[in-house]
């Protein structure tokens, strides 16, 4: 068996250099600065009221009682300008509970969403949208209107801070649980 004679000095130098490299390159664990957590989506307050009977117009109001601004992609929600046409609202006769037939549309949206589709609500502010429910042929009487939706995307930032990457990621995502608002109306 052959015996190798290795010089001790090069081994010590290499070991020392390796040790120093490892020690100086180990990541240190310093606590991250405390971040304020974003408000919860459930803190947003939405209401739907009857504005007029003929034509039937409902007003949807979103109030942001938090101290953070919020920007929302409102597709398929009561804040969507196309909400009555895409089936966000359903109407039921108050006396019988029967659903009133309506002519809804299927809409293909431009993806990623255009920035102008984003609705901005400042901290402590509110935004309202009026909807004429012409898709429903209603006779005089009392009705129950239900709006059901899931927010497409909610960002706790100013509207100007919503960028193309955020819009790209928002396409075809629902955020949070399904929400429902019911309002009694009379024509």
Dihedral sign from CA coordinates of 28, 30, 36, 41: positive
Q: What's the CATH number of domain 41-186, 3.30.465.10, 3.30.300.130, 3.40.50.150, 2.60.40.2970?
A: 2.60.40.2970
Average pLDDT, the chain: 85
Instruction: Give pTM, 2 decimals.
Output: 0.76
Instruction: Please report the beta strands in 94-136, taking only residues with DSSP state E, as ranges in sequence order.
Output: 119-121, 126-132
Q: How far is CA 63 from CA 114, 118, 123, in A?
A: 23, 16, 9
User: Measured between alpha carbons, how far is 145 from 149 in angstroms, rounded to an integer?
Assistant: 13
DSSP string, 87-102: TSEEEEETTT-PBPPB
Neighbours of 175 (CB within 10 A): 14
For residue 30, the model assigns a pLDDT of 44
Tell me the domain boundaries of the chain.
41-186
What is the average per-residue pLDDT within 7-14?
60
In the prediction, which pLDDT does 31 show? 45
Q: Please report the pLDDT score of residue 34 as a whole number.
A: 44
Query: Of 42-46, 77-81, 82-86, 134-138, which gets the smallest average pLDDT?
Result: 134-138
What are the distances in angstroms from CA 24 to CA 17, 29, 30, 31?
A: 11, 13, 15, 19
**Per-residue pLDDT tens for 122-161?**
999 999 999 999 989 899 999 999 999 999 999 999 999 9
């Amino acid at each position: 068996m052959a015996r190798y004679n290795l010089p001790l000095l090069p081994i010590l130098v290499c070991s020392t250099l390796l040790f120093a490299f490892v020690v100086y390159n180990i990541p240190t664990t310093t606590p991250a600065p405390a971040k304020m957590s974003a408000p919860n989506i459930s803190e947003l307050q939405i209401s739907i009221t009857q504005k007029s009977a003929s034509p039937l117009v409902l007003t949807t109001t979103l109030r942001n009682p938090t101290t953070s601004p919020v920007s929302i992609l409102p597709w398929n929600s009561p804040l969507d300008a196309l909400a009555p046409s895409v089936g966000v609202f359903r109407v039921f006769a108050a006396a019988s509970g029967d659903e009133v037939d309506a002519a809804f549309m299927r809409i293909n949206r431009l993806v990623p969403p255009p920035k102008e589709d984003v609705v901005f609500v400042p901290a402590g502010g509110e935004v309202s949208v009026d909807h004429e429910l012409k898709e429903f042929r209603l006779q005089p009487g009392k009705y129950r209107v239900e709006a059901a939706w899931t927010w497409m995307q909610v960002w706790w930032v100013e509207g100007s801070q919503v960028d193309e990457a955020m819009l790209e990621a928002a396409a075809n995502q629902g955020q949070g649980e399904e929400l429902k608002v019911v309002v009694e109306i009379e024509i």
